[in-house]
Amino acid sequence: MDYKANLEKLRALPESRKKIILWSIVGIIAVVLLFFWVKSTQKSFSELQSEFKFSIPSLAVKNNEEQAPQTEPAFTIWPDADTFDSNSKTFEAKDLDTQETLRVTTDLSTKFYKNKKACIDASCTEQVTVVDENYDFESFYNLLKNWEGPSWRFTLKGTVQSDGSVIANEIFYQIQ
């Protein structure tokens, strides 16, 4: 392709034509950049939402009643493998902060997983937490039933019920 000839053709065009070409190129670049900015913003919001477990509140209030905010406390626990009930998907766990025994109820939506720290760059100056392995109730029990050694620190996120039991949304532990 002869760039000099094309450049001379552009130089020979009237000024108004040059402006149209320039602004068309700027507009196309702006649309492409806007597209990528919107995608990255959506990803950032979804990461924030999953990290902090919040949702954008609805402005509609049913029957003019205030709804109680739902909180999802996090407990540091050690599950008691002897109390696992596969039929009801429940178990008891010791809250390592208060030393109290918690009754934990799980269901099919409960996430069981292991996190690990991963390096972002070769020098490992920055790390992120990533899900390393996923479990179900049975594999979680199998992980613990014959465990000998120090207690792992599991994190339990869920909703505390009026009877003091916890309906688990997530149960995970982290490997450094």
Tens-level pLDDT at each residue, the chain (176 residues): 788 998 899 899 999 999 999 999 999 999 999 999 999 988 887 776 666 554 444 444 444 444 444 456 788 888 888 888 888 989 898 888 888 898 999 988 888 878 766 666 666 666 666 666 777 888 878 877 777 777 677 888 888 888 888 888 888 776 65
> What integer pLDDT is reported at residue 121 of this predicted model?
67
> What integer pLDDT is reported at residue 72 of this predicted model?
64
Question: What are the distances in angstroms from CA 165 to CA 20, 72, 94, 116, 152?
Answer: 68, 13, 12, 28, 21
> What integer pLDDT is reported at residue 66 of this predicted model?
45
> What integer pLDDT is reported at residue 33 of this predicted model?
96
Residue 133 is classified by DSSP as E
Q: Please, are residues 78 and 152 in contact by the beta-carbon 8 Å criterion? A: yes
> What integer pLDDT is reported at residue 28 of this predicted model?
97
Residue 65 is classified by DSSP as -
**Paired residues of 120 in beta bridges:** none
Please report, in angstroms and rounded to a whole number, the separation of the first and last CA atoms in the chain. Answer: 56
**Global model pTM greater than 0.85:** no
Cα 131 to Cα 112: distance, rounded to the nearest angstrom: 10
Q: Please, are residues 169 and 72 in contact by the beta-carbon 8 Å criterion? A: yes
The first and second tokens of residue 62, run together, are 């049913």
The first and second tokens of residue 92, run together, are 């008891």
> What integer pLDDT is reported at residue 80 of this predicted model?
84
Q: Please, are residues 55 and 71 in contact by the beta-carbon 8 Å criterion? A: no
What is the DSSP secondary-structure string of 136-170? Answer: -HHHHHHHHTT--SSPP-EEEEEEE-TTS-EEEEE
Amino acid letter, residue 81: A
Question: Coil, helix or strand for 155?
Answer: strand
Give me the residue spans of the domains in the chain: 3-52, 74-175
